[in-house]
Structure 1
Amino acid sequence: MNKESAKLKRLDIGWYYIKYQLFTKALWFFLIFPFYRWMLQRLIDSTGRVSISSGDYLDFLLTPQGIIALIITIFTWMFLIGLDIHSFIWLSALYQEKRSLPTMSGLIVLSITSLKRLLNPIGFLITLYIALIIPIIRVGFSISMTESFKIPNFIADVIYLNPLYTTAYVVILLILTITTLGSIFFFHFVLLKNQPLIKSLKESFCIVRVHFKIFYT
């Protein structure tokens, strides 16, 4: 492939990805999120509440409705992992292998069906990590639904006003950042190599450790 053909190919896949992002974000904002919010509100209403505040969300989560809401939320996050992360990895792999691009619906189906690898306790923990931890440390792949997530102000104030808590918080953030950087290729091994989740994590840490200077310098 000459330079001109390679440039056209990059423009082609770039435009394809832009269209995919516009389509999936419209799908999220006009269909998935309204339906998700409607289901949560019905569950909240069924407990006699109008809304959930920071003071009673734990009480709500301990109710049957709260457990159902948590399950729905996790599966919604998993769906977004398919739309946001899996699709990007599949598209990158197809480009590197110089294969023809699938239809937009085909890419969505491929990305969503590959989520079956996360349907286990480890997969749920990874989903929680991506949805709640990565937005805080601002490193690695994230999903659109939780990318603006942050520690509540009342908790942050307690942390920053206590030197011991601040030190512990910084240490924890450092550990989480190292963990995230080390597992950056986790989904590549899961999706492209069809490897088990634990093995994919180990392989990712191994390749990052060996080639750290190339990836992060």
Structure 2
Amino acid sequence: MNHAFVDGSFDAGVGGWGVVLILPNLLPRRLQGRVDAEDNNATELRAVLEAVLHAPAQERMMVHTDNVNIIRAVRSGARSFPQDELAAQVREAAEAREVQLQLVRESRTRRHMRAAHDLANAARREQPLSAPGAPAEAVLDVQPWRSEAKVMVRRDGERVTAHVPLDAPTPLPPTVQALGVAVGLARPGEVLTVRRASTLAMAWWNNPRRALDEEARTALCALVAEAEGRGVQVQFA
């Protein structure tokens, strides 16, 4: 089943919404936006609507929210006309996309709920989610007898784990593939400390020209350029 963790943020007529969308066998996807709103309920309903619009069609989805008013509004309508309209849009979007929607109350202390909360606040304030230079840590777990590598990225209040298939045709060695995934999970402006990277991965990342194979060198240069473009600083420990 697909899952979406949603939250909203509101202050003086301006709102933000945040969604953490979790689909089977895929990395969590983060969505956020800034909107004019009458109150916090409106921003959270917008978050539910965005979750429905971005979820795969014709599949079940459970939406997690810490606001019982949102659950009631989607199920049976709201007293506020703007909120009732938003709730109706949620139901209509779910019906049109054949998304089997289920809403449940969730503790705001859960990791993905906190992430949705941070997304909503950052969107309302028009601020990047991570301050420039914010730290994150990645741990690479690559074993020669496994068909996949495990990449764990930790930052304040969040941990993300990615399983990286290693049997796909690629010119990059497994350790470099895992490093590329770790860097891809970093947020713009973060300083990513990578642990348990191989000597080869560190050498290639610091100097892509060390890769003798032209195809591998091209792929690695693209990864490094993408990281630099997002302001991600990679260091090894």
Give TM-score scaled by structure 1 length.
Answer: 0.23
More strand by share: 2
Give TM-score scaled by structure 2 length.
Answer: 0.22
More helix by share: 1
- The structure with higher relative contact order (CA 8 Å, sep 6+) is 2
